[in-house]
């Protein structure tokens, strides 16, 4: 078994700006194809994550596929439960806002999340709001085949919804306490609910009446956040959480037998209340060589409890397979198995996720899904008929079925292909359900005039909650489903898709689509029914199919302007330069046929030390790329091997957004959240916006670039002649005059550059082979040292000697530089053991901290500046250096009678922090010391008088 906790799976507190504070995750559920997992949290958001980066370390490092796929933000309260439909097409979520939301894939809804810096790689839109609960929705569950959806909540009600029309069928309100768990019988015959009235109740799906009530193991159960229960895949047992033995002193999970509805088996061992139970979706065979019969079948169930432990049990054994203790810091809130039965996901109120991956040998006897389906048929239960014309299956040609094994969820459920040429009755009754049908007719002058104004995809329809059946004429055909009813879609070029294998346990027929890309067609891109791809299928009598009203290629906007021509309604996606071109994969090969750019005459005739030959241009290759900061967008460069032009391409989600052709081969690229830049062999640099506009004129540097990098609005270029340039692209100005690297490279002919970077404030960071890191100060007109290995020989504040580094400071640029110095420069034991002068450590520690203060100021790192300042003050106090202490105090305090706009020689702030606020903390250190107590108290009195205006 392998265990991992992906730190990047998190829900953030939106109120904590700049500080990624985790908030509770209440629920998780794996998509049936295993490619993604949904989570719901205290931040009122549903988040969808890729599972491949969780399970595959190489994928996590490469960023392919993206870790975060989508953030869904329509709920107004904490999201307590998320559940994928068995078909994988819809996602249901329940929240404190009393709403059950049904989400549907929307290929046009990708992009930035409103009000945040997050980017949705996939778009999921709210298909329908299920209104009916009068308090928090705590759990939802889809029935087998997605025939029904059940939701429960703190209003003590159980609501049953149609899994196709999403209309409410029944309200069950016989519980006397909060209902906190629900699950379906895999046969489809029963529904089970767990409540704070200390009972588990079984309901028949034929008439929605009570079949049985189980109370015994719950008589002394305490109150918990959830009572999530689960039904075994063979239909034989329910495992219910929050049960007890011994009058409440022993916490157990109760196993309730089918038909007798008694609990004779208990899963004992957790030290606190069991919060959630989750069965592995597969049945297991005690003896794989024997047939699938009841005596030969067993199951695997996972339990999560308030004791922060997860246990996995196999019903054929008296003890658990595994017990993972102290996995979390707080209680477990939800568990979810992958469809292949080999991966278990757990989430906790501490805001983290844990993943347990099993080998087939560890879970012996796993049976295929077909064996389970065959076994369940023995119960002889006949499910109710489907609503007329609805199906969760996608009609497709047999030849296409094998090719459609991509991981993108298929289109939403829909009515099967049917002709709308004849008038359809307004209401159809099927099995006690009322289904309203929307019919649109063509009127003269090519104008669309629907006979009934239903809800299209531009709005979020709400279900009826005013009694069953509803007398209000509401369209219950999902907007996205109508688009797919009878409409063929164009094929997708094979070069634009990424084939990913789907677990064989999923019987879902998936559509051919880009895994995370944007598409120009409707849902289910690539599904070809073999019909001509005409824009609007017309019937003989002039009626228009519902699909003709859908937002094909209209970016999700469902409403039309009056008088708009039907023939002009197919609007292509916005045109971009090169956006219609199919992307091709270019192998990376070195190019030797292109002649190198000549060396600038100025570099040959320059006075002083020559850097000729010291800095080489990057190897010229056929393909190079840069990833845009904070997103998955890519800026690509392609150098032709022959006489074809060289080109740069901006790619977003597998789709070319724009391109440009360049006269010279590309040697380096840079991409930030605000611009892209390309350096060419002839010494010129082009700077583009993310839409392809040139933000600055072409910059001619004379020689080819050695390095090109950017950060936020800053662009840095270092040429092979040793000249350094830094520009502020937003202001279109240079941060300082072009500067030579000769002063820092001339010390030794063997010195080479290891890394080149630029900070968001425009400060360059150059680290050399000898470990010294430099930056250029435009006010001093000189290179300054940020850090060097010298301090490691004696400073007590050197990063390698600190055992308890502050996390916020550890992420700062100075700490990163010192970490790089430590990695590159091995500790010399001979120097470490060498006898040093008496003041060696004190001198180097103070010198190091003073250098660190200047470095933090140069790199605009206020947290590191404050940390170094307080360490510096403590060391001065420990050593009793009164003169240094007084000078530091006066520097931070400034003029006694300082007033704004009167004294220009002293600034009241540094790096955005008040100097006198920093002084307060420094004086607190002095007051607590043994040597500078009087000094600290005197200056504290002066501070108080200054604040009081005395």
Q: Which residues contact 778 (CB under 8 A, 6 or more apart)?
A: 735, 736
Tell me, rounded to whole angstroms, the distance of Cα 466 from its chain centroid. Answer: 38
Copy the structure tokens of residue 120.
């949705």
| Parallel, antiparallel or unpaired: strands 634-638 and 623-627 | antiparallel
Q: Which residues contact 76 (CB under 8 A, 6 or more apart)?
A: 44, 95, 97
The pLDDT tens digits for 90-122 are: 999 999 999 999 999 887 776 666 656 677 888
Measured from the Cβ of residue 482, the count of other Cβ atoms closer than 10 Å reads: 26
Q: Which residues contact 889 (CB under 8 A, 6 or more apart)?
A: 919, 922, 923, 935, 939
Element (H, E) at 399: helix 398-401
Higher pLDDT, 829 or 922: 922
The pLDDT tens digits for 747-794 are: 788 888 989 999 999 999 999 988 899 999 999 999 999 999 888 888
Identify how many contiguous H helices and E strands the chain contains and give both numbers: 15, 60
Element (H, E) at 470: none
Separation CA 477–CA 374 (nearest Å): 33
Q: Which of 698, 721, 696, 725 is nearest to 709 (CA)?
A: 725
**Residue 519: pLDDT over 80:** no
Separation CA 8–CA 399 (nearest Å): 40
Backbone angles phi, psi at 483, to 5 degrees: -65, -30
Measured from the Cβ of residue 834, the count of other Cβ atoms closer than 10 Å reads: 10
The per-residue b/e assignment along 223-249, b for 16 or more CB within 10 angstroms, e otherwise, is: ebbbbbbbbbbbbbbbbbbbbbeeeee
- Burial label for 61, CB within 10 Å (0-12, 13-18, 19+), is exposed
pTM of the shown model:
0.48
pLDDT of residue 343: 96
The angle at the Cα of 838, spanning 832 to 843, to the nearest 5 degrees, equals 80
Can you point out the beta strands (E) in 816-896? none
Out of 396-410, 486-500, 594-608, 653-667, least confident range? 486-500
Higher pLDDT, 124 or 949: 124
Q: How many CA atoms lie within 13 A of 463 on its CB side?
A: 30
Q: How many CA atoms lie within 13 A of 227 on its CB side?
A: 30
pLDDT tier, 216 (very low <50, low <70, confident <90, very high otherwise): confident
pLDDT of residue 558: 41
Residues 934-943 have a mean pLDDT of 90
pLDDT of residue 536: 34
- Specify whether the CB–CB gap between 277 and 339 falls below 8 A: no
- Specify whether the CB–CB gap between 739 and 753 falls below 8 A: no
pLDDT of residue 711: 93
The pLDDT tens digits for 164-181 are: 999 999 999 999 899 999
Tell me, rounded to whole angstroms, the distance of Cα 526 from its chain centroid. Answer: 26
104 DSSP β-pair partners: 90, 125
The pLDDT tens digits for 413-450 are: 444 433 333 333 444 444 455 555 444 444 444 444 44
**Residue 638: pLDDT over 70:** yes
pLDDT of residue 313: 94
| Parallel, antiparallel or unpaired: strands 753-758 and 300-305 | unpaired
Separation CA 678–CA 685 (nearest Å): 6
The pLDDT tens digits for 290-347 are: 888 888 899 999 999 999 999 999 988 888 999 999 889 999 999 999 999 999 999 9
pLDDT of residue 577: 75
- Specify whether the CB–CB gap between 869 and 922 falls below 8 A: yes
- Burial label for 510, CB within 10 Å (0-12, 13-18, 19+), is buried
Copy the structure tokens of residue 6.
């992906």
Separation CA 765–CA 707 (nearest Å): 12
Q: Which residues contact 396 (CB under 8 A, 6 or more apart)?
A: 404, 509, 527, 528, 529
Tell me, rounded to whole angstroms, the distance of Cα 613 from its chain centroid. Answer: 45
pLDDT of residue 923: 93
Task: Output 368-371 pairs: Cβ under 8 A, ≥24 positions apart.
Answer: 368/282, 368/504, 368/505, 369/281, 369/282, 369/504, 369/505, 369/507, 371/283, 371/292
Quote the radius of gyration of the chain (alpha carbons, Å).
34
**Residue 139: pLDDT over 70:** yes
pLDDT of residue 800: 53
The pLDDT tens digits for 384-417 are: 888 877 776 654 444 344 444 344 444 444 444 3
Copy the structure tokens of residue 74.
């329509």
The pLDDT tens digits for 261-272 are: 999 889 999 999
**Residue 660: pLDDT over 80:** yes
pLDDT of residue 533: 36
SS3 assignment, position 248 = helix
- Determine the longest span between alpha carbons in the chain, in angstroms: 103
Q: Which of 398, 415, 321 is nearest to 363 (CA)?
A: 321
pLDDT tier, 213 (very low <50, low <70, confident <90, very high otherwise): very high
Separation CA 593–CA 642 (nearest Å): 9
The pLDDT tens digits for 62-89 are: 888 989 999 998 899 999 999 999 999 9
Out of 20-24, 419-423, 684-688, least confident range? 419-423
Out of 33-37, 183-187, 512-516, 855-859, least confident range? 512-516
**Residue 494: pLDDT over 80:** no
Residues 254-258 have a mean pLDDT of 93
Q: Which of 215, 230, 227, 243 is nearest to 180 (CA)?
A: 227
SS3 assignment, position 939 = helix
- Specify whether the CB–CB gap between 27 and 334 falls below 8 A: yes
344 DSSP β-pair partners: 337, 356
Question: What are the angstrom distances between the C-alpha of 631 and each of 582, 592, 730?
Answer: 22, 33, 20
Backbone angles phi, psi at 377, to 5 degrees: -65, -20
- Specify whether the CB–CB gap between 305 and 331 falls below 8 A: yes
pLDDT of residue 10: 92
The tokens 């099993």 sit on which residue? 358
Q: Which of 729, 732, 663, 678 is nearest to 708 (CA)?
A: 678
- Average pLDDT, whole number, for the chain? 78
**Residue 361: pLDDT over 70:** yes
Copy the structure tokens of residue 39.
């989570």
């Amino acid at each position: 078994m392998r265990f991992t906790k992906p730190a990047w799976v998190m829900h953030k507190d939106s109120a904590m700006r700049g500080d990624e504070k985790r908030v509770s995750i209440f629920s998780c559920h794996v998509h049936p194809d295993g490619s993604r997992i949904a989570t719901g949290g205290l931040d009122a958001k549903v988040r969808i994550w890729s599972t491949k980066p969780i399970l595959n370390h190489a994928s996590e490092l490469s960023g392919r596929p993206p870790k975060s796929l989508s953030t869904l933000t329509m709920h107004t309260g904490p999201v307590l439960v998320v559940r994928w439909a068995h078909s994988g097409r819809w996602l249901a979520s329940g929240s404190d806002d009393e709403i059950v939301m049904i989400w549907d894939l929307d290929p046009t809804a990708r992009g930035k999340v409103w009000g945040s810096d997050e980017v949705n790689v996939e778009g999921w839109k709210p298909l329908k709001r299920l209104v009916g609960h009068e308090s928090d929705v705590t759990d939802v569950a889809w029935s087998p085949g997605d025939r029904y959806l059940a939701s429960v909540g703190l209003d003590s009600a159980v609501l049953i919804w149609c899994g196709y029309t999403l209309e409410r069928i029944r309200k069950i309100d016989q519980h006397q306490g909060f209902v906190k768990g629900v699950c379906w019988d895999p046969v489809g015959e029963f529904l089970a609910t767990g409540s704070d009235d200390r009972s588990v109740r079984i309901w028949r799906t034929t008439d929605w009446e009570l079949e049985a009530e189980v109370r015994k193991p719950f008589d002394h159960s305490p109150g918990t956040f959830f009572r999530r229960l689960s039904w075994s895949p063979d239909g034989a047992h329910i495992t219910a959480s929050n049960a007890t033995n011994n009058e409440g002193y022993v916490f157990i999970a109760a196993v309730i037998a089918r038909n007798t509805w008694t609990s004779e088996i208990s899963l004992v061992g957790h030290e606190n209340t069991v919060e959630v139970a989750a069965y592995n979706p597969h049945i297991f065979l005690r003896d794989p060589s024997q047939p699938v019969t009841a005596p030969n079948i067993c199951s695997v169930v996972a339990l999560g409890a308030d004791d922060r432990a997860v246990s996995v049990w196999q019903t054929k054994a008296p003890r658990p397979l595994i017990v993972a203790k102290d996995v979390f810091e707080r209680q477990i809130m939800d568990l979810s198995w992958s469809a292949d039965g080999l991966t278990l996901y757990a989430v906790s109120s501490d805001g983290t996720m844990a993943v347990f991956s099993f080998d087939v040998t560890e879970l012996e006897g796993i049976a295929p899904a077909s064996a389970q389906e065959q076994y369940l048929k023995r119960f002889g239960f006949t499910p109710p008929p489907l609503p007329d014309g609805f199906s969760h299956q996608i009609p497709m040609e047999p030849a296409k079925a094998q090719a459609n094994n991509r991981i993108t969820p298929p289109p939403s459920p829909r009515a099967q292909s049917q002709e709308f040429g004849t008038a359809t009755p307004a209401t159809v009754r099927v099995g006690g359900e009322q289904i309203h049908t929307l019919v649109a007719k063509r009127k003269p002058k090519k104008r669309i005039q629907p006979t009934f104004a239903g809800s299209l995809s531009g709005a979020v329809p709400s279900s009826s909650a005013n009694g069953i059946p509803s007398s209000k004429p509401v369209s219950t055909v999902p907007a996205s489903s109508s688009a797919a009813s009878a409409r063929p879609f164009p094929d997708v070029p094979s070069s634009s898709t990424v084939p990913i294998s789907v677990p064989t346990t999923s019987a879902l027929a998936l559509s051919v689509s880009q895994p995370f890309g944007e598409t120009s067609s409707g849902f289910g891109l690539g599904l070809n029914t073999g019909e001509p791809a005409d824009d609007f299928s017309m019937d003989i009598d002039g009626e228009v199919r519902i699909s003709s009203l859908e937002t094909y290629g209209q970016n999700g906007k469902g409403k039309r302007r009056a008088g708009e021509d039907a023939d002009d309604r197919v609007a292509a996606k916005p045109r971009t330069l090169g956006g219609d071109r199919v992307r091709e994969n270019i192998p990376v090969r070195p190019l030797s046929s292109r002649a190198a750019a000549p060396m600038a005459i100025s570099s040959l005739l320059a006075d002083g030390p020559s850097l000729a030959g010291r800095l080489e241009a990057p190897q010229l290759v056929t393909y190079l790329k840069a990833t845009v900061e904070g997103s998955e967008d890519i800026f690509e460069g392609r150098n032709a091997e022959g006489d074809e032009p060289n080109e740069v391409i901006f790619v977003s989600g597998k789709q070319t957004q724009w391109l440009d052709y360049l006269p010279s081969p590309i040697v380096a690229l840079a991409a930030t959240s605000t611009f892209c830049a390309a350096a060419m062999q002839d010494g010129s640099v082009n700077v583009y916006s993310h839409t392809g506009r040139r933000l600055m004129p072409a910059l001619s540097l004379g020689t080819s670039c050695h390095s090109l990098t950017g950060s936020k609005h800053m662009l840095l270029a270092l040429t092979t002649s040793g000249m350094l340039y830094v520009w502020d692209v937003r202001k279109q100005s240079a941060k300082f005059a072009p500067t030579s690297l000769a002063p820092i490279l001339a010390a030794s002919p063997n010195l080479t550059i290891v890394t080149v970077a630029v900070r968001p404030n425009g400060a360059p960071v150059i680290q050399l082979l000898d470990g010294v890191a430099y930056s250029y100060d435009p006010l001093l007109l000189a290179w300054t040292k940020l850090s060097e290995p010298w301090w490691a020989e004696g400073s007590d504040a050197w990063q390698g000697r600190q055992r308890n580094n502050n996390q916020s400071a550890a992420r700062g640029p100075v700490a990163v530089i010192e970490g790089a110095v430590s990695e590159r420069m091995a500790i010399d034991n001979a120097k470490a053991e060498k006898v040093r002068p008496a003041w060696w450590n004190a001198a180097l520690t103070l010198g190091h901290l003073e250098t660190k203060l200047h470095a933090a100021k140069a790199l605009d790192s206020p947290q590191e500046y404050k940390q170094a300042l307080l360490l510096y003050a403590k060391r001065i106090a420990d050593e009793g250096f009164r003169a240094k202490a007084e000078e530091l105090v006066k520097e931070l305090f400034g003029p006694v009678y300082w007033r704004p706009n009167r004294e220009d020689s002293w600034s009241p702030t540094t790096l955005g922090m008040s100097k006198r606020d920093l002084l307060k903390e420094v004086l607190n250190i002095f007051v607590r010391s043994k040597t500078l107590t009087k000094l600290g108290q005197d200056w504290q009195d002066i501070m108080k008088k200054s604040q009081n205006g005395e």
